[in-house]
């Protein structure tokens, strides 16, 4: 093999790659935040006494989890406007990723909820709290702390999944890498650097989340 490595074009476009990385992180953060809300509702839905609620939550979770995410992205971006729901590229992608995250987090939260000791709720009842206050003050905060490690893993997956936004021309890292690649033909350099950025970013995010987990964990 005789290939002349030349990273010039990468260095010249460094700002684009950084911008793309920033947007990817932003998309992942917004989506996990909304996804947590959806996931929480769906988790309580799955554990509800009401059959209809249970059915809706289970249907949502299994439908989303059994559809490839790329298909969801394309569906929301190209098909929803036909049904009268038109969103711009970024909103459409955040919508998709939130719905997608919600389905996975619902499962995380559901197992977190069933793992809690029954006594927590009863101790809340015994001091006169209503079911709603027990959920918001005790059940959700304790469960949330317990599932933080899974939440971190989900966030990292979600961050990597933001690369799929390139499919609908959302200008994140993968989109810019492809653009640089097409314009410069430095195929190996471009994709090598893009991969490296993802690896380093994921590594740094994991380290930061690990520290956050330690700070928020229930002390023992």
Partner 1 sequence: MSPILTISGLHKSFGKVEVLKGIDLTMQQGDVVSLIGSSGSGKTTLLRCVNLLEDFEQGSIELAGQSIGYKQDGGQRRRLSEREIARQRAMTGMAFQQFNLFPHMTAIRNVMLGLIKTKKMPKDEARAIAEKWLERVGMGQRRDHYPGQLSGGQQQRVAIARAIAMNPQIMLFDEVTSALDPELVAEVLAVVRDLANEGMTMLLVTHEMRFARDVSSKVVFMHQGRIHEEGTPEQIFGAPKTERLQGFLANSEF
* Binding residues vs partner 1 (CB under 8 A): 117, 119-120, 122-131, 133, 137-138, 141-142, 145, 218-220
Residue 48 CB, shortest distance to partner 1, in Å, is 16
| Nearest residue (CB) to partner 1, 6 versus 130 | 130
| Nearest residue (CB) to partner 1, 62 versus 137 | 137
Residue 111 CB, shortest distance to partner 1, in Å, is 18
Residue 123 CB, shortest distance to partner 1, in Å, is 4
Residue 219 CB, shortest distance to partner 1, in Å, is 4
| Nearest residue (CB) to partner 1, 116 versus 205 | 116
Query: CA 101, CA 186: separation in Å to the nearest integer?
Result: 34
Residue 137 CB, shortest distance to partner 1, in Å, is 6
| Nearest residue (CB) to partner 1, 142 versus 156 | 142
| Helix axes of 89-114 and 51-65: crossing angle, nearest 10 degrees | 120
Cβ atoms of 14 and 196 closer than 8 Å: no
Query: Which of 203, 174, 213 lies closest to 191, judged by CA?
Result: 174
Q: Residue 98: which residues within 8 A CB-CB, separation 6 or more?
A: 30, 31, 34, 35, 38
Cβ atoms of 176 and 133 closer than 8 Å: no
Query: Which of 31, 3, 20 lies closest to 197, judged by CA?
Result: 20
| Nearest residue (CB) to partner 1, 18 versus 217 | 217
């Amino acid at each position: 093999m005789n290939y002349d490595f030349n990273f010039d074009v990468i260095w010249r476009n460094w700002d684009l790659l950084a911008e793309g990385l920033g947007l990817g992180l932003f998309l992942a953060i917004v989506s996990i935040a909304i996804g947590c809300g959806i996931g929480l509702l769906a988790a309580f839905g799955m554990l509800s006494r009401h059959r209809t609620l249970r059915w809706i939550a289970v249907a949502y979770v299994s439908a989303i989890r059994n559809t490839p995410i790329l298909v969801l992205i394309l569906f929301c971006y190209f098909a929803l406007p036909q049904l009268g729901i038109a969103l711009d590229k970024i909103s459409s992608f955040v919508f998709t990723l939130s719905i997608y995250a919600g389905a996975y987090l619902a499962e995380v939260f559901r197992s977190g909820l069933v793992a809690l000791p029954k006594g927590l709720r009863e101790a809340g009842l015994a001091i006169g709290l209503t079911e709603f206050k027990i959920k918001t003050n005790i059940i959700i905060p304790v469960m949330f702390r317990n599932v933080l490690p899974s939440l971190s893993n989900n966030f990292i997956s979600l961050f990597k999944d933001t690369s799929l936004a390139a499919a609908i021309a959302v200008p994140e890292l993968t989109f810019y890498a492809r653009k640089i690649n097409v314009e410069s033909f430095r195929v190996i350099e471009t994709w090598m650097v893009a991969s490296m950025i993802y690896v380093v970013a994921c590594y740094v995010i994991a380290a930061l989340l690990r520290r956050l987990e330690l700070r928020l964990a229930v002390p023992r």
